[in-house]
Amino acid sequence: MKKVNLAVVGATGMVGRTFLKVLEERNLPIENFYVMASARSAGQTLTFMGKEYVVEELTEHSFDKPIDIALFSAGGSTSEKFAPIAAAHGCIVVDNSAQWRMDPKVPLIVPEVNPEDISWNSGIIANPNCSTIQAMVTLKPLDDKFGIKRVVYSTYQAVSGAGVAGWKDLEDGLKGEAPKKFPHPIANNCLPHIDVFLDNGYTKEEMKMIWETRKILHDDDMKVTATTVRVPVFNSHSESINIEFERPFELSEVVETLKNAPGVVVTDDPANNVYPLAVDAAGKDEVFVGRIRRDESVENGINLWVVADNIRKGAATNAVQIAQLLIDAMQ
Ligand code: A2P
């Protein structure tokens, strides 16, 4: 098997450190490995596969050396500047920021859903928003079978989605300290505000879910709406998803379809208080789906409760799966 040179950009961050963990677990064939971050953490060391690696400062020259794949999670402005530099040197960037996701020249990929889209990349592949990824793994098999007409997302998102600073705001807030990252206390609170507000009254997080769903499912006209909420949970995003189908269905067919869907675990036994929980999903790579029930207010609708680890499947694991697809295509 051909081995690759792989770099992690933003390696000291919440997602960056998880990139290292998932790369180790999945044992990707890596020849040379590089960890990069800002000047602030240059010189620190990170352990990978039992070896110590010194964090390099990310600069215009970081990609002068041969690097096949770079996993980026260092914010939008870092990706905006450095992903094209990496791509110009022949490196394929898998970017976790929102910077390139809606660029028509950039594929947006969930490996269980649209792996075929890697074929038209020109050096940058985008990793979708964390809330979008877990929804896509769930929606794709249902769309194929019953045709999705309309989707309503309501999310309950963990603070780890806002990085180290978000995590600290909840930790400190529980001790009574004022927030630094969020505009209001997150401890004992729910904030219907993730990312910035746009002119249409939606937040950018809500619009990301709407735009990205259409792009990944290849359906520009799909009716989608969203309300995204930050909740005082450290890890794992929960989502209520209401779906209206084109075609009639039996509830048992929906359950069977989800049970057979790659990456999905059906966790649905309400009589025994069994349904997906953030604390159970944390540390796992699967998307957990439960509370599967008919929406009795419309002809062909259902309601679902969908939970996944936002740092793993919602970010690092999905990006590493994309890297695996790239490596497979290189063999
Ligand atoms: P650093 O630790 O040196 O600041 P998180 O979102 O969890 O806070 O992580 C952000 C990651 O992005 C960190 O690894 C951070 O590095 C990195 N980062 C932020 N700004 C830059 C930059 N201008 N160049 C390179 N890496 C950056």
pLDDT digit string (tens) for 257-270? 999 999 999 999 99
Residue from 89, 190, 218, 237 carrying the catalytic annotation: 237
Is pLDDT of 235 > 90?
A: yes
The answer to whether 110 touches 92, Cβ cutoff 8 Å, is no
In this structure, is the dihedral angle defined by the CA atoms of residues 192, 197, 202 and 205, taken in order, positive or negative? negative
| Binding-site residues, ligand 1, Cβ < 6 A | 10-14, 16, 37-38, 40-41, 58, 74-75, 78, 163-164
Could you report the per-residue pLDDT of 149-179, keeping only the tens digit for each? 999 999 999 999 999 999 999 999 999 999 9
State in Å: Cα 277 to ligand 1 middle. Answer: 30
| Among the listed residues 241, 222, 243, the one whose alpha carbon sits nearest the alpha carbon of residue 153 | 241
307 CB neighbour count, 10 Å cutoff: 27
User: How far does residue 304's CA lie from ligand 1's centre (Å)?
Assistant: 35
- Dist CA 142 CA 136 (whole Å): 10
The pair phi, psi for residue 260, each rounded to 5°, is: -90, 0
Pairing mode of beta strands 30-37, 56-57: parallel
**Relative to the CA of 12, which ligand 1 atom is closest?**
14
pLDDT of residue 247: 98
Neighbours of 277 (CB within 10 A): 16
Closest CA to ligand 1's atom 4: 38
| Both tokens assigned to 234 | 């450290």
Specify whether 218 is catalytic: no
CB 93 within 8 A of CB 67: no
Side chain identity at 256, as an amino acid letter?
Answer: E
3 state DSSP class of 78: helix
* Residue 75 vs residues 13, 14, 81, 148, 223: alpha-carbon distances, Å: 10, 12, 11, 32, 29
Cα of 12 vs centre of ligand 1, distance in Å, is 7
Q: 86-125 pLDDT, tens per residue?
A: 999 999 999 999 999 999 999 999 999 999 999 999 999 9
- Report the alpha-carbon distance of residue 327 to residue 56 in Å, rounded: 24
Atom of ligand 1 nearest to the CA of 74: 12
Query: Strand 301-308 relative to strand 237-245: parallel, antiparallel, unpaired?
Result: antiparallel
Residue 130 annotated in active site: yes
User: What stretch(es) of the chain map to CATH 3.30.360.10?
Assistant: 131-310
Look at the domain 131-310 and name its fold: Dihydrodipicolinate Reductase; domain 2 (3.30.360)
CB 166 within 8 A of CB 138: no
Cα 276 from Cα 56, distance rounded (Å): 40
**pLDDT at residue 284, as a whole number:** 98
Fold of 4-128+315-330: Rossmann fold (3.40.50)
Q: What is the pLDDT of residues 36-86, one digit of tens each?
A: 999 999 999 999 999 999 999 999 999 999 999 999 999 999 999 999 999
How far does residue 27's CA lie from ligand 1's centre (Å)?
25
pTM: 0.97
pLDDT classification of 3: cutoffs 50, 70, 90: very high
Cβ–Cβ under 8 Å, residues 242 and 151: yes
- The residues of the chain that CATH labels 3.40.50.720 are 4-128+315-330
With cut-offs at 50, 70 and 90, classify the pLDDT of residue 1. Answer: confident
